[in-house]
């Protein structure tokens, strides 16, 4: 059986920087209020005049990843695209990537697992490669949150957190034992689905009903998050799924060279860092600059860490995510 390795990484972020002070113009908030709760200083939001979309950002990140891998577009056998914010309700973003990059008629699969979507997508790609079906798979996480946020005082609990961006990797076949992607671990708990969700428009609450009711107090078409409830579950599940990955590979927290957590909240990452006894150089965080980019957060962080030379051959790299669903997941690599 083959193994999988990340042969290339890439990311893309919109030019438009939105600081905490910029948000004061839109809602009742402050830089101190946002930083205390989230650790975020600024985020990137697409400029509507730029024409950027979830798919165009994903394609730019993908090009960078393919170049980093030393491959050509035609070397890619399959696409897995993770997002909660596709350009259209359907079709999915994967086929848009295939078209934008001018690829042959390779398959494209969308993963809708929100914050843990990229790790889920890695796991799916890994199975295709292990069985020999594909050799090079493009795995992308991309999000356009700013287009669907309620940028008012009422919506500030969510809108101050999220940013736009895209990250991608090329997962490639390897025959080197003991290296590459060693294991992935996937979980869900649908009992808490409504605690972090977007209820409509959906087939259960479609556009015609929203228009007909014309209710100014209707928030069903904006994201909802029970912040404290999510935080309490996240710190537990993050710990569990990281330990699961370590145990599965006969490792301990002392063996971790780099932890790349989903950039949900700096306070969560700091809690996990302290619990596992990790130093600052062993945890990569960029939420301060980009906010929570959901499915894009881990591949953006990974791409930056690799770009900065923070991950070396032989390093044990752990990725972990928790989010809507609830879903959570981890992946462990020996680089």
Active-site residues: which are they? 115, 262, 292
User: At CA 171, angle to CA 166 and CA 177, rounded to 5?
Assistant: 145
| Whether 161 contacts 40, CB under 8 Å | yes
| Whether 316 contacts 245, CB under 8 Å | no
State how far the Cα of 240 lies from the Cα of 247, in Å rounded to an integer: 10
DSSP state of 195: G
Tokens of 51: 């024409």
User: Nearest 5°: phi and psi at 18?
Assistant: -115, 110
Please give the radius of gyration of the chain, using alpha carbons only, rounded to the nearest integer: 19
State how far the Cα of 115 lies from the Cα of 132, in Å rounded to an integer: 28
In whole angstroms, what separates CA 333 from the centre of its chain? Answer: 17
| Whether 260 contacts 287, CB under 8 Å | no
Q: Which residues, including other chains, have CB under 8 Å from residue 91's CB and lie 6 or more apart?
A: none
| Whether 322 contacts 306, CB under 8 Å | no
């Amino acid at each position: 059986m083959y193994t999988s390795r990340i042969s290339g990484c890439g990311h893309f972020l919109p030019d438009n920087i939105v600081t905490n002070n910029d948000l004061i113009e839109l809602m009742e908030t402050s830089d101190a209020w946002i930083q205390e709760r989230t650790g975020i200083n600024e985020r990137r939001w697409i400029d509507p005049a730029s024409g950027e979309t979830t798919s165009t950002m994903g394609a730019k990140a993908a090009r960078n990843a393919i170049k980093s891998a030393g491959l050509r577009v035609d070397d890619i056998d399959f696409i897995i695209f993770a997002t909660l914010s596709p350009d259209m309700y359907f079709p999915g973003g994967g086929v848009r990537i295939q078209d934008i990059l001018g690829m042959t008629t390779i398959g494209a699969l969308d993963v809708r697992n929100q914050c843990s979507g990229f790790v889920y997508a890695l796991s799916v790609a890994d199975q295709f490669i292990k069985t020999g079906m594909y050799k090079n798979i493009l795995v992308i996480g991309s999000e356009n949150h700013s287009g669907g946020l309620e940028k008012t005082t009422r919506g500030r609990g969510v809108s101050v957190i999220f940013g736009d961006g895209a990250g991608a990797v090329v997962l490639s076949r390897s025959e080197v034992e003991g290296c590459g992607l060693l294991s992935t671990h996937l979980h869900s708990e649908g009992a808490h689905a409504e605690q972090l969700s977007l209820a409509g428009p959906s087939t259960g609450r479609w556009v015609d009903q929203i228009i007909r009711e014309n209710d100014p107090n209707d928030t069903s078409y904006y994201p909802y998050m029970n912040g404290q409830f999510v935080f309490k579950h996240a710190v537990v599940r993050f710990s569990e799924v990281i330990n699961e990955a370590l145990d599965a590979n006969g490792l301990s927290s002392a063996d971790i060279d780099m932890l790349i957590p989903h950039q949900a909240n700096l306070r969560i990452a700091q809690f996990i860092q302290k619990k596992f006894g990790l130093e600052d150089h062993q945890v990569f965080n960029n939420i301060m600059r980009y906010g929570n980019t959901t499915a894009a957060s881990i591949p953006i962080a990974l791409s930056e860490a690799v770009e900065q030379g923070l991950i070396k051959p032989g390093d044990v790299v752990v990725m972990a995510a928790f989010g809507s669903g609830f879903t959570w997941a981890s992946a462990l690599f020996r680089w």
